[in-house]
Chains A and B, each alone.
Chain A
């Protein structure tokens, strides 16, 4: 079920009312209800996916109990933890990466013939998200960061909680699981805030991202025949498409969770206002970045080791992060590209230089800050070309094609013909609003506007713009990951 669908528009209020009015008297029953509706939400794509998520949840739940049971025997506890990790990664590997490895193997050794060696299984939606979420639990229990839960329903609710099930934020058991362990109460301000955040997420997804998608898809599918300026414009638009799409999803997820009295972690923090790549990675897909930091990077030694090991660790997490996104060399190249950009900063000890928000306390950035943001954005856009391309070859062709400037007029023509200007206004509006509220928890946090009439008018304007864009419903890019 997509957040931007009529099905969800019906599903959400029904679930909300049942959750607060029917199942609120008994915590266990309320959690069971969360599990059931989350499975309905997920099974809407394909009921067979449910078997996988149930299996993954069960494995991590049992692992947690066994790790605690063998606490006195570290070797046994470690073995159980390792078995659970391997099992989960094996499932992920088979469903997500097997065909990729088989095809690569066939390209290298079988002359590209893949007959009979491909599984061709459907990739279950959001498998990477919930697998990582389930893994974080057993690892945290093993590390003694938390006690294992005895309540299987609570645990299943934690893994399958529908707002963040298919595209994050990838929650930590230490944050989310305790919230299912205590009774929730409805708070008016939090509820209103949740609705506002949903509205803002829908704007980013349906107005910005989906409008960009039309142009981007058209240009990327026929990049050989496009002018350099058109290719450049499409690359920039893709940067906003993926941001609107993914951060929009996160906003809807976080907003929806608020309606149910659950607080999810922040996943995006105005990443395109970053002054260097290190700051970008602190603001982009925060839940994944911190996951890799806590469960891969730091255990490997992090940045407190020799320079050679820092290089190894940095490349490892960026390559893993790229590979996490999908079974294609383009994602690995994208990860390597960011590792190369990140490495000088960490080696020079400048990766933590910008921990504050840009132009804090000022309306506009100074020239230096503006230049830094622009340069970072350009570097990120180049990365997105690799990310969006079907193959490394296509990415290279696309990149080379961008430098044929002889046909600037073609871009202008495209601008007029394809209603690109409307999309540009939407992007600009999003950037202005995000800039003005860059120090807030999310951009559309307008509770400080005193007049309810002005607030209501803003809501209606936003709803109207969203409704105008309804009908060209597109799936969320990150579902495939």
Chain B
């Protein structure tokens, strides 16, 4: 037995070192989550406009277009639960907050990050935003759970690579016009299908409504407004949406607007000002679309403040 244990340990030791090095590499490198958490930790008190949401907001809100200091704290597939978590993590320090921009997409009221293909991102919130999950479950605690990727890890350790794909103020940089695929319009059918819920979970809808209410109330305490927005989408996406789900998603926003005086809502889903040139794919804006939308939002926020 002793011989077995010694030989096996000696054989596996280099493997273990290799695995630890890979994990260290992935943890060392910068990524969107780490960067945004750090930025908010340092500048929360100066932020006047905070934008949350999923990839629609992550790609579609360009903070540079706002007159006031704006930060985009959205992430791919970020649902309202994680929106609230991020908001709560920093709200007490946000003394200058004037407006919270909350994109409510066609799928938002029924979305749970844990249910989809992007569930692995829970780990990122846990590791970099200190989101509480199981301390012993490796899927939430180890970056290598999604793959060892030793070549990337080595480059990361040497400081020659990072996973940062955001601008200084948090907008995603990957969905740009020059990266757009030739068949980007065709993505509408699949995206709409992916976002449509066959049996919408009414409990989740109510829970998400409560989450947004709590955020609105905290904003009210800080004399800040909440701007709910349905993001622009291309016709190939829009025409494949289920009418019933879409109207429920819109009434989600309208009911909140009715209920609270610090809430306003912009439905820009089919806004004619957005043309083919503004999209990365059927449901995400590119850098031009993001600039255009953010310019419009900035104006709307200004007008609201003057009122």
Q: Do A and B come from one complex?
A: yes
For A186, the chain B residues whose CB sits under 8 A away are 1, 4
CB pair B15–A467 under 8 Å, yes or no, is: yes
User: Which residues of chain B from 1 to 24 have any CB-CB distance to chain A below 8 Å in the complex?
Assistant: 1, 3-4, 7-8, 11, 14-15, 18-19
Flag whether A195 is at the interface (Cβ < 8 A).
yes
Most buried by B among A459, A468, A471: A471
Q: Is the interface of A mostly helix, strand, loop or mixed?
A: helix
For A472, the chain B residues whose CB sits under 8 A away are 147
Flag whether A20 is at the interface (Cβ < 8 A).
yes
Question: Closest CB-CB distance, B210 to chain A, in whole Å?
Answer: 27
Report the bound CA distance from A195 to B18 in whole Å: 20
CB pair B4–A188 under 8 Å, yes or no, is: yes
Question: Closest CB-CB distance, A47 to chain B, in whole Å?
Answer: 15
Flag whether B138 is at the interface (Cβ < 8 A).
yes
For A468, the chain B residues whose CB sits under 8 A away are 148, 150
Flag whether B144 is at the interface (Cβ < 8 A).
yes
Flag whether A470 is at the interface (Cβ < 8 A).
yes
When C-beta atoms are compared, the residue in chain B nearest to A472 turns out to be: B147
Flag whether A225 is at the interface (Cβ < 8 A).
no
Flag whether A26 is at the interface (Cβ < 8 A).
no
Flag whether A191 is at the interface (Cβ < 8 A).
yes
For B148, the chain A residues whose CB sits under 8 A away are 467-468, 470-471
Most buried by B among A6, A10, A20, A472: A6
User: Which residues of chain B from 135 to 152 have any CB-CB distance to chain A below 8 Å in the complex?
Assistant: 137-139, 142, 144-150
Report the bound CA distance from A471 to B150 in whole Å: 12
Interface string of A174-213 (1 = CB under 8 A from B): 0000000000001010011001000000000000000000
CB pair A6–B142 under 8 Å, yes or no, is: yes
- A463/B15 contact (C-beta < 8 A), A7-B138, A470-B148 known: yes
When C-beta atoms are compared, the residue in chain A nearest to B11 turns out to be: A459
Question: Closest CB-CB distance, B14 to chain A, in whole Å?
Answer: 8
User: Which residues of chain B from 119 to 149 have any CB-CB distance to chain A below 8 Å in the complex?
Assistant: 137-139, 142, 144-149
Flag whether A417 is at the interface (Cβ < 8 A).
no
CB pair A471–B146 under 8 Å, yes or no, is: yes
- A456/B147 contact (C-beta < 8 A), A6-B138, A191-B4 known: no
CB pair A456–B11 under 8 Å, yes or no, is: yes
Report the bound CA distance from A186 to B145 in whole Å: 33
A interface, size bucket: 20 to 34
CB pair A471–B147 under 8 Å, yes or no, is: yes
Report the bound CA distance from A254 to B165 in whole Å: 46
CB pair B144–A470 under 8 Å, yes or no, is: yes
CB pair A470–B142 under 8 Å, yes or no, is: no
Question: Closest CB-CB distance, A256 to chain B, in whole Å?
Answer: 14
B interface, size bucket: 20 to 34
Report the bound CA distance from A336 to B150 in whole Å: 47
For A471, the chain B residues whose CB sits under 8 A away are 144-149
When C-beta atoms are compared, the residue in chain B nearest to A6 turns out to be: B138
- A195/B3 contact (C-beta < 8 A), A7-B138, A470-B148, A471-B144 known: no
Question: Closest CB-CB distance, B117 to chain A, in whole Å?
Answer: 12
User: Which residues of chain A from 1 to 38 have any CB-CB distance to chain B below 8 Å in the complex?
Assistant: 5-7, 10, 20
Question: Closest CB-CB distance, B143 to chain A, in whole Å?
Answer: 10
For B11, the chain A residues whose CB sits under 8 A away are 456, 459
Report the bound CA distance from A415 to B214 in whole Å: 52
Interface string of B35-78 (1 = CB under 8 A from A): 00000000000000000000000000000000000000000000
For A470, the chain B residues whose CB sits under 8 A away are 144, 147-148
Which residue of the partner chain, among A456, A459, A460, A467, contacts B19 with CB atoms under 8 Å?
A467
Report the bound CA distance from A470 to B144 in whole Å: 8
When C-beta atoms are compared, the residue in chain A nearest to B19 turns out to be: A467
For B146, the chain A residues whose CB sits under 8 A away are 471
For A10, the chain B residues whose CB sits under 8 A away are 138
For B19, the chain A residues whose CB sits under 8 A away are 467
Which residue of the partner chain, among B8, B138, B147, B150, contacts A195 with CB atoms under 8 Å?
B8
When C-beta atoms are compared, the residue in chain B nearest to A191 turns out to be: B4
When C-beta atoms are compared, the residue in chain B nearest to A469 turns out to be: B147
When C-beta atoms are compared, the residue in chain B nearest to A473 turns out to be: B145
Report the bound CA distance from A5 to B14 in whole Å: 19
Interface string of A441-481 (1 = CB under 8 A from B): 00000000000000010011001000110111100000000
Report the bound CA distance from A227 to B3 in whole Å: 56
Interface string of A209-247 (1 = CB under 8 A from B): 000000000000000000000000000000000000000
For A192, the chain B residues whose CB sits under 8 A away are 4, 7
When C-beta atoms are compared, the residue in chain B nearest to A5 turns out to be: B138
For A463, the chain B residues whose CB sits under 8 A away are 15
Report the bound CA distance from A296 to B302 in whole Å: 80
For A191, the chain B residues whose CB sits under 8 A away are 4
For B8, the chain A residues whose CB sits under 8 A away are 195
Question: Closest CB-CB distance, A206 to chain B, in whole Å?
Answer: 11
For B149, the chain A residues whose CB sits under 8 A away are 471
Report the bound CA distance from A191 to B8 in whole Å: 10
Most buried by A among B4, B8, B19, B148: B4
For A188, the chain B residues whose CB sits under 8 A away are 1, 3-4
When C-beta atoms are compared, the residue in chain A nearest to B10 turns out to be: A456
Report the bound CA distance from A322 to B142 in whole Å: 40
When C-beta atoms are compared, the residue in chain A nearest to B15 turns out to be: A463
Report the bound CA distance from A470 to B146 in whole Å: 8
Report the bound CA distance from A463 to B15 in whole Å: 8
What would 13 more interface pairs be, CB under 8 Å, given A7-B137, A186-B1?
A6-B139, A6-B144, A191-B4, A192-B4, A192-B7, A456-B11, A460-B14, A467-B18, A467-B150, A468-B150, A470-B148, A471-B148, A471-B149
In the complex, 28 of the A-B residue pairs with CB atoms within 8 angstroms, ordered by the A residue number, are A5-B138, A6-B142, A6-B145, A7-B137, A7-B138, A10-B138, A20-B1, A188-B1, A191-B4, A192-B7, A195-B8, A459-B11, A460-B14, A463-B15, A467-B15, A467-B18, A467-B19, A467-B148, A467-B150, A468-B148, A470-B144, A470-B147, A471-B144, A471-B146, A471-B147, A471-B148, A471-B149, A472-B147
Question: What is the interface of chain A, defined by CB distance below 8 A to chain B?
Answer: 5-7, 10, 20, 186, 188, 191-192, 195, 456, 459-460, 463, 467-468, 470-473
Sorted nearest first, the 5 A-B pairs with minimum C-beta distance are A471-B147, A6-B138, A191-B4, A471-B146, A186-B1
